[in-house]
Amino acid sequence: MIFNSIEFLIFFLIIFITYWCLNKKPLVFQNILLLVASYFFYGWWDWRFLGLIAFSTIIDFYIGKILSKTKQSKKRKILLFSSLAINLGFLGFFKYFNFFINSFEELLQNLGINFDTWTLKIILPVGISFYTFQTMSYTIDVYKEKIKHTDNFISFAVFVSFFPQLVAGPIERASNLLPQFQKKRKFNLKQSINGCSLIVYGFFKKIVIADRLAIYVNSVFNNVETANTISLIIAAVFFAFQIYADFSGYSLIARGISKLIGFELMINFNKPYLATNISDFWRRWHISLSTWFKDYLYIPLGGNRVSKKRNYYNLMIVFVTSGLWHGANWTFVIWGFLHGLFQIIYLNFIRKSRTKSSENKFRNFIKVVFVFTIVTLAWIFFRAENLNHAIVYFEKLIQFDLSFNLNQITAQKGPLNLLLSFLAIILLYLTYLFPKDLKFKKEGQNITFIIIFILLIFIIGVNGKEEFIYFQF
């Protein structure tokens, strides 16, 4: 069940009405409804994986309880290790088992050794990377005594499986989301209208921007051998905007739906393509994941409180792991490695050369263009089906075939789709002028916003039910 489907609309309307009808009942009734709704929502893809998320929930709930009562350092470490081993074990098996087996087989073949390996037909559970990291953060925070454990199993189970953000985040911390399940919620009209604005804007980003750009991007990436340099450049730029609009659109819809039922989720994107350096980009892009890796991997490794070489090592570990988190493919590993390399170069050479004149608007514009360019080049690996596909793409790109071939430039989809795609990007940048979190100053501006963007969705949106890109992670 995806957000941009009739099934979800019916599902959510039933939940929304029932949820607020239970408002005068004890809080547990609303939480039970959310738990049942979340498991139904997740089971819509494949009911067999409900046991997986339930088992992970039970394990971390009881380990959290035991941790709070255990004072011996050794026993606490054993409990933490058990939680991490179970969660990462599930994630590793379902997501990376075949990847490592196939990579090992290829390595042996390259060494001239014939070795037949066997692989399982493993189905990747939707959202496993997201809810695994979310429940792990709870156990780690309880271990570090940053938060207190909860004795309310229903609240904790809903925290792990909360359907608006279950499949693709934001990856919430227990310190923010868990307490919201333990206090009474009241219907707030202003909050609900703001939530509707976020939902409509999210659908605008998905249906008008991302899905429109996807038509061109898919056409070029599926026919790299026959594409010329101009179409390859356009496709790479379009994909940069596509993945941003697709993923940030999902996050907006998740936050909007949450607001409608009285919850506040963290902001996951903050205009990343206006970043003036690569570190700034990662403070703006997929904030819930980047801060997760900072708090639970980078800082425990020593962060920047160590020697320069060790700090660079820590950065590379974090970004390569981040790449692998996104998918079981060498293209994601290289994507992560490139961002780690960008960070090291920036910290070692570029940041040191900054002066007060860097505040000049023209210089900042050049920096924005530069950061967008290197990020876009790295996105090619992210989008490519495999390493060979990415290599061919770059080989064709540097051939500088600038011959004017309308069919190649329009990617056989006609000039109209290309023009609409550029229009979509212009509209996306115009929306950067909106106030943060779409909280307009005057009453009624949210209603006007909702009406205008619904019209845009129906007029230039793409028909169809394309899944969100990050569902595969």
By annotation, the residues acting in catalysis are: 326
Q: Which two tokens stand for residue 187?
A: 């219907």
Rounded to a whole number of angstroms, the CA Rg of the chain reads 23
Q: Which two tokens stand for residue 417?
A: 């789709």
DSSP one-letter code for 352: G
Spatial neighbors of 147 by CB under 8 A, at least 6 apart, are 138, 141, 174, 175, 178
* Signed CA dihedral, 142, 148, 152, 156: sign only: negative
CA–centroid distance for 341 within its chain: 21
Nearest-5° angle of CA 383, CA 242, CA 410? 85
Nearest 5°: phi and psi at 381? -65, -40
Spatial neighbors of 192 by CB under 8 A, at least 6 apart, are 259, 260
- Rounded CA separation 471/248 (Å): 13
Which single residue is written with the structure tokens 């605008």? 204
Q: Are 263 and 180 in contact (CB under 8 A)?
A: yes
Per-residue b or e along 7-46, where b marks 16 or more CB atoms closer than 10 Å to that residue's CB: ebeebbeebeeebbebeeeebeebbebbbebbbebbebbe
Torsion angle of C-alpha atoms 224, 226, 229, 232, degrees rounded to 10? -30
What angle separates helix 229-260 from helix 211-221, to the nearest 10 degrees? 140
Region of residue 112 (phi > 0: left; psi between -120 and 50: alpha; otherwise: beta): left
